[in-house]
Each structure stands twice: as structure tokens, then as C-alpha cells.
Copies of this chain bind each other. A is one copy, B any other.
Amino acid sequence: MPGLSPGADDEMARPREFDEEAVLDAAVRCFWAHGYEGTSVRDLIANTGIAGASLYNAFGDKRAFYQKALDHYVEGSIGDRIRRCGDLAPRAAIGAFFAEILKRSLGDRQHKGCMLVNAALDVAPHDPDFRKAVAGALVDIEQFFCNCVKAGQADGTITRSVPAQDLGRHLLGVLMGIRVLARIRPERQLLEGVVAAAFALLDRPVGEAAKQ
């Protein structure tokens, strides 16, 4: 059994014996690999190690549990990546971001992709709350790319011939596309071709006008 966690309530007779972080990690693994409908509450009980009553008491029903797991994933996986890449120079940040995505996608033996992208097509379309959460995370990623592009255009490492917002949004689209392709055709050549062209777009020499 994992170590204690203090819990949030004022008066607690017996402290929780499970590590909420570890439980959320396990729930993320389940939902990530098998989706919302594909993960039963019994699966969650078996893989998190906590009992059913504890699950419902600590996290609410299955839907609320998925919501917390998705938040946990976004915060821990995507937020962390944005923070780490944000410390680099703008053009290098975008390069590092996609390099990590490629590495993760090609090393993903289960082909489970990105939980956020999976959620976008799994739960978000049929649940306004999930959709809002996914949309918010996508806006954050878009902002990251747009900020990088703006800064890169300012310091001359990224082409100025395309509006920063269009470039940022394009990178968001490419990211989503890679995450989809990688689940079906996890071929290095394919994914590297996709990002190579994206980088060629960024590195386009300044001062050249597009035809359209």
C-alpha cells in the first residue's frame, strides 16, 4: 500500500491509505489506453488498487473520475512539456516540442497516442463539459505556439512572411495530425516527413511574399 496523504477535510478519523497521485496516474493509464467507454469501473478498481467504495467516495462517479484523470494528464504531461520548452529560444522550443512528440509517438508500443487528442474524439463530442476542458487545453497549446512564433519572428529565427497566428494555428493542427497518424501508422519516415515540411515552413526566408 502507498504512503499516507493528509486529505483535505478538517476532521479525519482514519486517513486515506492510498496515494491520490498514484491512483490518478493509474486511472490515466486505463482511460488513456482504452478510452472512456472501454474502461469499466471494475477495470479502474483492479488497476488503481483502491476499492469501489473508496473510488466513488474520493472521486465521485466514473465521469467525474475521468474528468480528474484528464485534468491530471493535461497538467502533468502537456503543461510540463510547455513549461520545459518555454525556457528555450523560440525556434528551438518548437523544435524541441515536436522532437519530443515524435519520440513519444514512435516509442509508444501500445499506440495509445495523446490522451487529450483521444478525449477530443471520444468524450468531448457528446459532453459539453469535456468539450470545454479539451478546447481550453487546445487554446493553451495554440497560445504556446503563437508565442513561440511571435518571438521567433521578432528575433529573426522564424519567417515573417506568414502571420504569426496562422503559423501557430498551423503548428497546432500539425500536432493533432501527428497524434492521429501515429496511432495508425507509427512509421518514422512518415511522421518525420510531416514535421520536416512544417520546419521548412518556419525556416522560410523572410521578405518573401506568398502567392496566396
Binding site for B on A (CB under 8 A): 34-35, 37-38, 111-113, 117-118, 120-122, 124-126, 131, 134-135, 138-139, 142, 161-163, 165-170, 172-181, 183-185, 190, 193-194, 196-201, 203-205, 208, 210-212
Contacts and interface: CB of A to CB of B under 8 A. Distances in A.
A143 to B, nearest CB: 12
A193 B166 contact: yes
Contacts of A37: 37-38
Contact of A125 (B131, B169, B183, B197): B183
Contacts of A203: 210-212
Contact of A177 (B121, B131, B180): B180
B183 A124 contact: yes
A70 B117 CA distance: 21
A210 B203 CA distance: 6
B197 A200 contact: no
A200 B162 CA distance: 7
A94 to B, nearest CB: 11
Contacts of A193: 163, 165-166, 168-170
A65 B63 CA distance: 29
Contact of A121 (B117, B197, B205, B210): B117
Nearest to A197: B170
B183 A169 contact: no
Contact of A185 (B34, B125, B138, B212): B138
The 8 closest A-B pairs by CB, nearest first: A173-B177, A170-B197, A177-B177, A176-B177, A169-B193, A173-B194, A166-B193, A201-B201
